[in-house]
Amino acid sequence: MSLDRRKVGVFAAAFLLRLLLIVLFPSLPDLLTGRVEVSTPVSSFKRLQEGLFLYTRNVSPYDGGVFHQAPLLLPIFALLPSSRDSPLPSVIFYSLIDLLNANALIAISDSGQAVSGRFYSALRKHIRWDGFAIAAWFLFNPFTIATCLGRSTMVFTTSGILYAVSSAVSGNSFNAMLALGWASYLSIYPALLFIPLVLLCYDVRAQRTKTAPGLAIFVVQHLAVLLLSVVGLLGMSILIIGDFSQIISATYGFQLLVPDLTPNVGLWWYFFIEIFDSFREFFLGVFWLHLTAYVGGLTVRLRRQPLFVCTALLGIFAIFKPYPSISDASLFLGLLPLYRHLFPLMRYTFFAVSALLYATLLGPAFYHLWIYAGSGNANFFYAITLVWSLGLSILLVDTIFAALRDEWELDNPQMRGKDVKQV
């Protein structure tokens, strides 16, 4: 494959931009690492450093209750030079991961699954961006850059998800399950993507080969692959740490039970601060149920566009998961341009984007007023996280509306371009 010159240009520019930022503002990575919008308890680079420190001294990294990330990250980072002297090596490493993610995005875009699949072919499929434009959109997104410089470990989950999707659309369903296994191993919730992803794999398989296997067998096979991959990774973790129950309680237990209520851009922390402890388990169940409930509904309703279901689910995760950060939003925003053909049908983009911009500016301001100036309080920041979630929700709902409308127009060609009123 001959190297696309524009792609090289975009990648080089994105890489250089990150280097330039770190050279011009050497304190930027540390500043971003400390921001609650970038680093959550389950993805913070600072906490990773703590775990790494304990790990390299042969103490269990989960002692002390600071580190809550997957054990396999530790040997990877132990290979890197220490980031205490200079953040440069770690930022270069994260930039490379970003480039890999962008590469996966290009692969997804080039497959064209976003506009036409097995059962479906979008009406406006000629309105679309090139792979490299989508990569540029992702790489130059300030949220992505902030995540990269803040060195949130969420990027590994992101790359797991993106590679799972890109393998799925290119027909490599085995790799897709392995990548999804990696993402789920790191932070559970990507496992929810299994159903749409396996449907996507199946559709691609059915498109390519005339004699497709039965759906049930296909799903069971892939579920087995996914489970095996997770089990394999957990086995490797036990080799590294040893104490299995400690790993599970410190990582998955931590993510499922949400004991750390450090502020973040999500909706859980404030709710669980305010709630009486006796109701805690009940609402934990409700919140998780709420998060998982979308999978079934969206998959059924949008059966013809499994890739879109994945995108919409990622948007939902960015809003409703327990420890969201801007890196989740950047993943969702990175996948959105795949649906460039839906943009003409969307109605509230400007308002959603304005709300996001307002939240982006006011969030740090109110956090400052609360934590540093002491003249505000937690409600200030929580109000802004509500605005942020509202902006994302509007964008998400608008996208889903556009996708449904597109499907509907496909089914009812006589109604194209007509105003329709629901009764």
Partner 1 sequence: MATPTALPPLPFNPSRARSYLLRLPLFTRLVLLATLVFWLLELQTVWSVVQWGALTPSEINLGTMYRLNTYPLIHMGFFHFLLNVVALTPLLERFEAEHGTLTAVALFIGPLSTLPAGLYLLIEKGIFNRNASVVGASVWVFLLLASEAIRTFKSHPHFSLGSTKIPTWTSPLFVCAVVSALVPNTSFLGHMCAIAVGYLLGLGYLKFFVPPEKILRFLEGKLNLLGRLPHYVSVDQKTFGRYGVLPTSAPVGDRPLPPPRSVVHLQIINNINWVEDTDLMALKSAIRNLRSNPQFLFARLPYILSFICIVAGVVWLALLPLDDYSRRTYISENALLPGQVHAYFSGSEQHVFRGYKKEIESLLPASYHEVQESGVRDAEFTPVVSDKIQSILRAAGLKVATQNYEYSSSGITHQGQNVYAIINAPRGDATEAIVLVAAWKTADGELNLNGVTLALTLARYFKRWSLWSKDIIFVFPPDSKSGTQAWIDAYHDMQPASIQPLPLKSGALQGGLVIEYPFDHRFESIHIVYDGVNGQLPNLDLFNTAVAIAGGQMGIGASLQEMWDHKNDYRARLETILRGMLKQGLGYATGAHSSFMPYHIDAITLQPKGEGWQDEMALGRTIESLCRSLNNLLEHLHQSFFFYLLMHTNRFVSIGTYLPSAMLVAGNFTIMAIALWMRTGYRPRATAAVKPGEKSNDETPSDEKPSDEKSEVEQKSQTEAKDATSTTERQLALPLSLVVGLHLLGLIPLYTFNNLSYKYYTPATYAYILADILLPIFLSALLTRHTSTSTKTNPHQHHLIKSFSLLPLGLFLSTLATLNFSLSFIIGLLCTPLTFIHRIPKTTPAPLRYPLTLAGLILLNLLSPPVVLLATCAYTGTSVETVLTQAAFGWDVWGMWTQVVVWCVWWPAWLSGGALLGCSFF
264 backbone dihedrals φ, ψ, rounded to 5°? -150, -175
| 35 contacts partner 1 (rule: CB under 8 A) | no
- Which one of residues 176, 318, 345, 402 is an interface residue with partner 1 (CB under 8 A)? 345
User: Does 419 interact with partner 1 (rule: CB under 8 A)?
Assistant: yes
Bridge partners for 121 per DSSP: 116
- Cα separation, 84 vs 29, whole angstroms: 11
**Using CA atoms, how far apart are residues 82 and 52, in angstroms rounded to an integer?**
10
d(CA 115, CA 340): 9
Who's near 125: CB < 8 A, 6+ residues apart?
Answer: 115, 116, 341
- Chain position carrying tokens 């948007």: 315
**Candidate segments 99-107, 144-152, 170-178, 413-421, binder of partner 1 by CB under 8 A:** 413-421
Using CB under 8 A, which of 8, 59, 273, 373 touches partner 1?
373
Question: Is 357 near partner 1 (CB under 8 A)?
Answer: yes
Q: Is 64 in the site for partner 1 (CB under 8 A)?
A: no
CB of 84 to partner 1, least distance (A): 18
Closer of 276 and 372 to partner 1 (Cβ): 372
Q: How far apart are CA 234 and CA 364, in angstroms?
A: 37
Give the three-class secondary structure for 364.
Answer: helix
Can you tell me the distance from the alpha carbon of 71 to that of 29, in angstroms, rounded to the nearest whole number?
23
Taking the complex as a whole, the smallest distance from the CB of residue 31 to partner 1 amounts, in Å, to 13
For the chain, give the number of residues.
423
Least Cα distance to 379 among 263, 280, 260 occurs for 263
- Contact residue for partner 1 among 100, 107, 257, 362 (CB under 8 A): 362
Q: Does 413 interact with partner 1 (rule: CB under 8 A)?
A: no
The secondary structure of 216-267 as a DSSP string is HHHHHHHHHHHHHHHHHHHHHHHHHT--HHHHHIIIIIHHHH-------SSS
Question: Rounded to an integer, what distance in angstroms lies between the CA atom of residue 114 and that of residue 311?
Answer: 10
**Quick check: 276 binds partner 1 (CB under 8 A)?**
no
Least separation in angstroms between residue 26's CB and partner 1 is 14
9 binds partner 1 (CB under 8 A): yes
- We find the least distance from the C-beta atom of residue 374 to partner 1, in angstroms, to be 5
How far, in Å, are 137, 196, 279, 313, 395 from residue 297 at the CA level?
30, 11, 27, 11, 19
| Options 63-71, 81-89, 197-205, 337-345: segment touching partner 1 (CB under 8 A) | 337-345
Closest approach of Cβ 28 to partner 1, in Å? 15
Burial class (CB in 10 A: 0-12, 13-18, 19+), 311: buried
Q: For partner 1, how many residues bind (rule: CB under 8 A)?
A: 37
304 binds partner 1 per the rule CB under 8 A: no
333 binds partner 1 (CB under 8 A): no
**Distance in Å, CB of 45 to partner 1, minimum:** 22
Q: Which long-range contacts (CB under 8 A, 24 or more apart) does 211-219 make?
A: none
Burial (Cβ within 10 Å: 0-12, 13-18, ≥19) of residue 312: buried
Return the range that interacts with partner 1 (CB under 8 A); candidates 89-97, 148-156, 209-217, 367-375: 367-375
User: Which CB, 4 or 50, lies closer to partner 1?
Assistant: 4
Please identify, using beta-carbon distances, which residue of 286 and 361 lies nearer to partner 1. 361
- 410 touches partner 1 (CB under 8 A): no
**Closest to partner 1 by CB, 85 or 419:** 419
Q: Token pair of 379, please?
A: 């409600």
How buried is residue 29: exposed, middle or buried, by Cβ count under 10 Å (0-12/13-18/19+)?
buried
Region 374-393 residues binding partner 1, contact defined as CB under 8 A: 374-375
The yes or no reply on residue 97 touching partner 1 (CB under 8 A) is no
Does 23 sit near partner 1 (CB under 8 A)?
A: no
Of 58, 217, 350, 411, the one binding partner 1 by CB under 8 A: 350
Tokens standing for residue 313: 């689910």
Least Cβ distance, residue 148 to partner 1 (angstroms): 16
Six token digits for residue 105: 């995005």
Judged on CB neighbours under 10 Å (0-12, 13-18, 19+), 410 is middle
109-168 binders of partner 1 (CB under 8 A): 124, 126-130, 132-133, 136, 139-140
Could you say whether residue 19 binds partner 1 (CB under 8 A)?
A: no
7 interacts with partner 1 by CB under 8 A:
no
- 214 or 374: whose CB is closer to partner 1? 374
Chain contacts with partner 1 (rule: CB under 8 A): 6, 9-10, 13, 124, 126-130, 132-133, 136, 139-140, 343-345, 350-351, 354, 357-358, 361-362, 365-366, 368-369, 372-375, 416-417, 419, 421
